[in-house]
Amino acid sequence: DQQVKQNSPSLSVQEGRISILNCDYTNSMFDYFLWYKKYPAEGPTFLISISSIKDKNEDGRFTVFLNKSAKHLSLHIVPSQPGDSAVYFCAASHTGTYKYIFGTGTRLKVLA
């Protein structure tokens, strides 16, 4: 049973436009969420996080939105750059555990 789902395996966006990556979760106990970015032949690297007490967190070009009632979060990248082309994973956890459950990833391609 996939507790964290990224239903879009891939996404292509024109440079300068907005990229929106989506993630859904099923476990209502999850209260902390992260996004990781992964380039080929490298390990995933932390990008941005959000706690369930917030509905938005912004860091430069990256903003994560959380809709708890819908059990949905999204990552917005504005403006998108070719260097943003990577696989993006969302991950979720709940208080009291060190364990993160990851989604299957979305491959973003930003076209120059």
Partner 1 sequence: DAGVIQSPRHEVTEMGQEVTLRCKPISGHNSLFWYRQTMMRGLELLIYFNNNVPIDDSGMPEDRFSAKMPNASFSTLKIQPSEPRDSAVYFCASSQDIGYTFGSGTRLTVV
Residues that bind partner 1 (CB under 8 A): 2, 6, 32, 34, 36, 41-46, 49, 89, 91, 98-105
Q: Rounded distance, CA 2 to CA 95, Å?
A: 19
Of the pair 14, 51, the CB lying nearest partner 1 is at 51
CB of 73 to partner 1, least distance (A): 16
Cβ proximity to partner 1, 26 vs 45, nearer residue: 45
Q: How far apart are alpha carbons 93 and 29 in whole angstroms? A: 8
- Which two structure tokens, joined as six digits, stand for 40? 């080929």
